[in-house]
Amino acid sequence: MQQIRVIDSHTGGEPTRIIVEGGPDLGTGSMAERAEIFKNEFDAIRTAVVSEPRGSDVWIGGLLCEPCDSNCTAGIIFFNTASYLGMCGHGTIGLMVTLQHLGRIAPGEHSLETPVGTILTRLEPNNRVTLTNVPSYRLCANVEIEVPGFGPVIGDVAWGGNWFFCVKNLEEDLSLSNEPHLTQLTKRIRNSLQQHQITGVNGEMIDHIELYGPARKPENHSRNFVLTPGGSYDRSPCGTGTSAKLACLAADGLLEPGDKWRQESIVGSLFECSYEADGERVIPTLTGQAYISAESTLIFDPADPYRTGIDS
């Protein structure tokens, strides 16, 4: 009977489940190559770990791997109920706190290998983690689409480790009580992007939709709502989404290199951010906080008809 050991954490309210034992053997290639093997040969493990009945659309999973580069602390492949992620900011913060919980790392600087590149991190006291994300950029500005039931929507297409549509012209109530409406709106925006064949580079799907509004606390700059690929909303401020936002702010001349940006999530959690210029791209730096919430052994009974998850 197969068993997989996982450790759960949450970063600003958004959960992460890291496979630490019992995961598939993906060989010794790059994280991008191993992610393809995971997708093509072991996808049932993804669905089993994060889908119902063990998980839900809100869960982000990660497979802890041995890195190719001996200078890196670990390799990681992130995934959710819909597919695989190039990078995950809140998941990286959760991973670092998980590695500390396991006694594998101490506070200080650590490098992680991901399918989209090497991520630099710094584990700090009180479960705080600072990460330097992959180079981020705005691909297209002021893209206008017609969204049934809502009218014209204008936004920027940007990359922050995943593809985002950062909406610019809507003023919505970004409160938890309004979540059903926000989820419906952002799902329709994503559907309209697909119908109009608006994509990222090489036809890659824009699978994250991000809304913005005023911060609730005067010391912060913005509040967001992010629809994730599985159809749930991000409880954290979304690390890759905030990176995409920084790229758009930089492109519009609204935020200078090194200036601080404090991004609230819809639940009120916070990422503290800044960026350094890299030609037409930016190198984002994000700081957040994570907490361990559980240690579990997942059991896969061959007689269980839902052992690999419930199909959506």
Residues of the domain holding 50? 2-132+292-300
- Judgement on whether residues 252 and 296 belong to the same structural domain of the protein: no
Q: Quick check: is 307 in a domain?
A: no
Mean pLDDT per block of 10 residues along the chain (312 residues) reads: 94 97 96 97 96 94 96 96 91 98 97 93 97 96 95 97 95 96 97 96 96 97 95 95 97 97 97 96 97 97 94 65
Phi, psi angle pair for 87, to nearest 5°: -150, 160
Helix axes of 31-41 and 43-50: crossing angle, nearest 10 degrees: 80
- Judgement on whether residues 277 and 143 belong to the same structural domain of the protein: yes
Catalytic entry in 65, 72, 88, 248: 88
- Judgement on whether residues 88 and 156 belong to the same structural domain of the protein: no
d(CA 269, CA 245): 17
Q: Quick check: is 53 in a domain?
A: yes
Q: Quick check: is 312 in a domain?
A: no
- Judgement on whether residues 187 and 93 belong to the same structural domain of the protein: no
Identify the bridge partners of residue 8 per DSSP, sorted by sequence position. Answer: 17, 294
The DSSP call for residue 236 is: S
Query: Which tens digit of pLDDT belongs to each residue from 116-163?
Result: 889 999 999 999 999 999 999 999 999 999 999 899 999 999 999 999
88 is catalytic: yes
The number of beta carbons lying within 10 Å of the beta carbon of residue 214 is 12
Give pTM, 2 decimals: 0.92
How many domains does the structure of the chain reveal?
Answer: 2
Query: Which tens digit of pLDDT belongs to each residue from 214-235?
Result: 999 999 999 999 999 988 999 9
Residue 236's CATH number: 3.10.310.10
The residues, ordered by sequence, that sit 6+ positions from 194 with a Cβ below 8 Å of its Cβ are 205
Q: Quick check: is 306 in a domain?
A: no
Q: Quick check: is 198 in a domain?
A: yes
Q: Quick check: is 309 in a domain?
A: no
Catalytic entry in 65, 72, 166, 238: 238
166 is catalytic: no
